[in-house]
Structure 1
Amino acid sequence: MKLILKILAALVALLLIAILVLVLFFDLNMLKPRIEAAARAQGVDLRIGGDIGWTFWPSVGVAVSDIRVAPVATPEEVLAELDKASLLVELMPLFKGNVVVHHVLVDGARIDLKVDRQGNGNWEKLTAEKVPADVAQQQTGAGADGAAPGEPAAAEGQELQLSVERISLSNSALNYNDEQSGQRIALEDIRLDVNQFNLQAQPFDVSVALKTRLESEGSAPMNIALQSGNRVQLQSDLNGAKITGGELNLVINDSGKLAATYEVNLNDLQGDLRFDGSVKVPAFDAKALLGALGTPLQTRESYALTKVALDTRVVGNKNSLQAEPLTITLDKTNLTGSFAISDFSRMAMKLAIKGDQLIADDYLAPEAQTTAAPAAGTGGSTTAGGAAVAVDDGDEELIPLDVLKTLNLDASLDFDKITFADIPLEAIRVRLNAANGQVNLTQTDARVYDGTLAAKGSLDARGNTAVIRFDSALTNVQIEPAMKALELGDNFGIAGGINANLQANTRGITMNQLVDGLQANADFTGAHVRFSPLNIEQKFCELVDLVNKSDTAGLASWDPFTEMRELSGKITMANSVVNVESIKAGVHQLELGTNGKIDLAAGGYDLLLPMKLLNEETSENGCRVPGNYWINRSLSLLRCHGSLETLNPLTDCRPDSKGLANLTKDFAEFKLREKHGDKIDAAEQKVDQKKEELLQKLDKKLGGDGDSDAAKSLLKGLLKGGSRSSAATEE
Structure 2
Amino acid sequence: MKAFGKILGLVLLGLLLIIVALGFALTHLFDPNDYKDEIRQIARDKAHIELTLNGDIGWSLFPWLGLELHEASVATLAKPTEPFADLKMLGLSVRVLPLLRREVQMSDVRVEGLNLRLNRDKDGHGNWEDIGKAPASATPPAATDAPASQTTAQAEKPAQPIRLDIDSLTVNNARVEYSDEKTGKLFSAESIQLSTGAVHDSTNIPIKLTAFLGSNQPVLRVRTELNGELRFERALQRYKFEDMKLSGEVAGDPLQGKTITFAAQGQLLLDKAANVAEWTGIKLSANQLRALGELKVNDLDKTPQISGGLSIAQFDLAKFVDSIGQKLPAMAEGSLSKVELASRLSGTPTSVSFDDINLKVDDSTFSGRIAVEDFAKQSLRASLKADTFNVDRYLPPKSAEANSAKQVREAEVASTEADAMASAGSTPLPQSPTKGPWSTARLLPVERLSKLDVDADLTFGQLTLDKLPIQNAALKATGLGGLLTLENLRGNLYDGNFEAKGTLDVRQSVPTLNMQTHINQVPVEKILESQGKNPPVKGLVTLNSNLTGSGNSQSALIDSLNGNASFVINNGVLLNANLEQQLCKGIATLNRKTLSGEPRGKDTPFQELKGNLTFRNGVASNPDLKVRIPGMTVNGDGDVDLRVLGMDYRVGIIVEGDKSDMPDPACQVGEKFVGIEWPLRCRGPLELGAKACRLDNERMGKVAGKMAGDKISEKIDEKLGDKVSPELKDALKGLFKR
- TM-score under structure 1 length normalisation: 0.71
Letter in 1 for 2:279: I
Q: Deviations over 1:347-370 (max 9, x none)?
A: 544211111222222222345757
| Other-structure match for 1:499 | 542
C-alpha deviation, 1:293, in angstroms: 6.2
Say which is worse superposed, 555-564 or 76-85, in terms of deviation: 76-85
SS at match of 1:658: helix
C-alpha deviation, 1:266, in angstroms: 1.7
Letter in 2 for 1:525: V
| Other-structure match for 1:666 | 706
Q: How does 1:377-396 map to 2 (within 5 A)?
A: 396=442
| Other-structure match for 1:698 | none
Match of 1:550 among 581, 593, 596: 593
| Other-structure match for 1:204 | 241
What is the rounded CA distance, in whole Å, between the counterparts of 1:533 and 1:653 in structure 2?
11
What is the rounded CA distance, in whole Å, between the counterparts of 1:27 and 1:155 in structure 2?
39
1:400 matched to 2:455? The reply is no
What is the rounded CA distance, in whole Å, between the counterparts of 2:325 and 2:273 in structure 1?
45
Distance of aligned partners of 1:232 and 1:300 in 2 relative to their CA distance in 1, 3 Å threshold: closer
Q: How does 1:311-330 map to 2 (within 5 A)?
A: 311-318=342-349, 320-330=351-361
Distance of aligned partners of 1:157 and 1:302 in 2 relative to their CA distance in 1, 3 Å threshold: same
What is the aligned-residue RMSD (CA, Å)?
5.1
Match of 2:138 among 114, 135, 139: 135
Say which is worse superposed, 330-339 or 304-313, in terms of deviation: 304-313
Distance of aligned partners of 1:480 and 1:50 in 2 relative to their CA distance in 1, 3 Å threshold: farther
Match of 2:273 among 237, 241, 246: 237
Contact 1:673 1:680 in 2 (8 A): no
Letter in 1 for 2:516: D
Match of 1:442 among 482, 487, 512: 487
| Other-structure match for 1:287 | 318
C-alpha deviation, 1:561, in angstroms: 1.4
Distance of aligned partners of 1:488 and 1:28 in 2 relative to their CA distance in 1, 3 Å threshold: farther
Contact 1:298 1:366 in 2 (8 A): no
SS at match of 1:565: strand
SS at match of 1:538: helix
Contact 1:42 1:126 in 2 (8 A): no
1:655 matched to 2:692? The reply is no
Contact 2:620 2:640 in 1 (8 A): yes
Letter in 1 for 2:619: V
Say which is worse superposed, 242-251 or 558-567, in terms of deviation: 242-251
Structure 2 residue runs of 5 or longer lacking an equivalent are: 142-146, 149-153, 186-216, 407-438, 732-738
Q: Deviations over 1:267-325 (max 9, x none)?
A: 22122322211223334443345446665336442211233333222123345432211
Contact 1:399 1:466 in 2 (8 A): no
| Other-structure match for 1:724 | none
Distance of aligned partners of 1:415 and 1:68 in 2 relative to their CA distance in 1, 3 Å threshold: farther
Say which is worse superposed, 87-96 or 326-335, in terms of deviation: 87-96
What is the rounded CA distance, in whole Å, between the counterparts of 1:341 and 1:36 in structure 2?
56
Distance of aligned partners of 1:35 and 1:515 in 2 relative to their CA distance in 1, 3 Å threshold: farther
Say which is worse superposed, 417-426 or 25-34, in terms of deviation: 25-34
Letter in 1 for 2:582: K
What is the rounded CA distance, in whole Å, between the counterparts of 2:616 and 2:74 in structure 1?
70
Contact 2:259 2:323 in 1 (8 A): no
Contact 1:526 1:566 in 2 (8 A): yes
1:303 matched to 2:306? The reply is no
Contact 1:73 1:129 in 2 (8 A): no
Q: How does 1:528-539 map to 2 (within 5 A)?
A: 528-539=571-582
What is the rounded CA distance, in whole Å, between the counterparts of 2:295 and 2:128 in structure 1?
39
Letter in 1 for 2:276: G
Letter in 1 for 2:641: D
Letter in 2 for 1:560: K
| Other-structure match for 2:519 | 474
What is the rounded CA distance, in whole Å, between the counterparts of 1:680 and 1:84 in structure 2?
138
Distance of aligned partners of 1:526 and 1:611 in 2 relative to their CA distance in 1, 3 Å threshold: same
Structure 1 residue runs of 5 or longer lacking an equivalent are: 139-143, 146-151, 252-256, 376-392, 692-731
Letter in 2 for 1:636: P
Distance of aligned partners of 1:438 and 1:184 in 2 relative to their CA distance in 1, 3 Å threshold: closer
C-alpha deviation, 1:44, in angstroms: 7.1
What is the rounded CA distance, in whole Å, between the counterparts of 1:598 and 1:429 in structure 2?
32
Match of 2:570 among 515, 523, 527: 527
Distance of aligned partners of 1:53 and 1:603 in 2 relative to their CA distance in 1, 3 Å threshold: farther
1:412 matched to 2:457? The reply is yes
Contact 1:440 1:458 in 2 (8 A): yes
What is the rounded CA distance, in whole Å, between the counterparts of 1:36 and 1:648 in structure 2?
99
What is the rounded CA distance, in whole Å, between the counterparts of 1:36 and 1:621 in structure 2?
127
Contact 1:231 1:245 in 2 (8 A): yes
SS at match of 2:702: helix
Distance of aligned partners of 1:249 and 1:676 in 2 relative to their CA distance in 1, 3 Å threshold: same
Q: Deviations over 1:183-228 (max 9, x none)?
A: 4455554545452231353632344456666669xx9789766543
Determine which structure has greater relative contact order: mean sequence separation of CA pairs < 8 Å that are 6+ residues apart, divided by chain length.
2
What is the rounded CA distance, in whole Å, between the counterparts of 2:107 and 2:622 in structure 1?
87
| Other-structure match for 1:452 | 497
What is the rounded CA distance, in whole Å, between the counterparts of 2:554 and 2:117 in structure 1?
45
C-alpha deviation, 1:619, in angstroms: 6.4
Distance of aligned partners of 1:68 and 1:418 in 2 relative to their CA distance in 1, 3 Å threshold: farther
C-alpha deviation, 1:477, in angstroms: 0.9
Distance of aligned partners of 1:441 and 1:686 in 2 relative to their CA distance in 1, 3 Å threshold: closer
What is the rounded CA distance, in whole Å, between the counterparts of 1:652 and 1:186 in structure 2?
64
Contact 2:576 2:691 in 1 (8 A): no
Contact 1:72 1:126 in 2 (8 A): no
SS at match of 1:667: helix
What is the rounded CA distance, in whole Å, between the counterparts of 2:172 and 2:623 in structure 1?
78
Letter in 2 for 1:196: L
| Other-structure match for 2:632 | 590
C-alpha deviation, 1:33, in angstroms: 7.2
What is the rounded CA distance, in whole Å, between the counterparts of 1:683 and 1:108 in structure 2?
135
What is the rounded CA distance, in whole Å, between the counterparts of 1:99 and 1:212 in structure 2?
40
Q: How does 1:343-358 map to 2 (within 5 A)?
A: 348-358=379-389
Contact 2:575 2:690 in 1 (8 A): no
| Other-structure match for 2:528 | 483
C-alpha deviation, 1:610, in angstroms: 2.2
What is the rounded CA distance, in whole Å, between the counterparts of 1:44 and 1:664 in structure 2?
115
SS at match of 2:279: strand
Contact 1:170 1:189 in 2 (8 A): no
Contact 1:556 1:621 in 2 (8 A): no
What is the rounded CA distance, in whole Å, between the counterparts of 1:517 and 1:53 in structure 2?
87
C-alpha deviation, 1:229, in angstroms: 3.4
Distance of aligned partners of 1:531 and 1:601 in 2 relative to their CA distance in 1, 3 Å threshold: same
Match of 2:229 among 179, 185, 195: 195
Say which is worse superposed, 529-538 or 294-303, in terms of deviation: 294-303
C-alpha deviation, 1:413, in angstroms: 0.7
Distance of aligned partners of 1:605 and 1:455 in 2 relative to their CA distance in 1, 3 Å threshold: same
What is the rounded CA distance, in whole Å, between the counterparts of 1:529 and 1:297 in structure 2?
44
Contact 1:174 1:187 in 2 (8 A): no
- TM-score under structure 2 length normalisation: 0.70
Letter in 1 for 2:542: N
Q: Deviations over 1:529-575 (max 9, x none)?
A: 12212122222222222233234x64586332111112212234443
Letter in 2 for 1:667: M
Q: Report the count of equivalent residues.
A: 638
Distance of aligned partners of 1:70 and 1:335 in 2 relative to their CA distance in 1, 3 Å threshold: farther
C-alpha deviation, 1:469, in angstroms: 1.6
Letter in 1 for 2:609: L
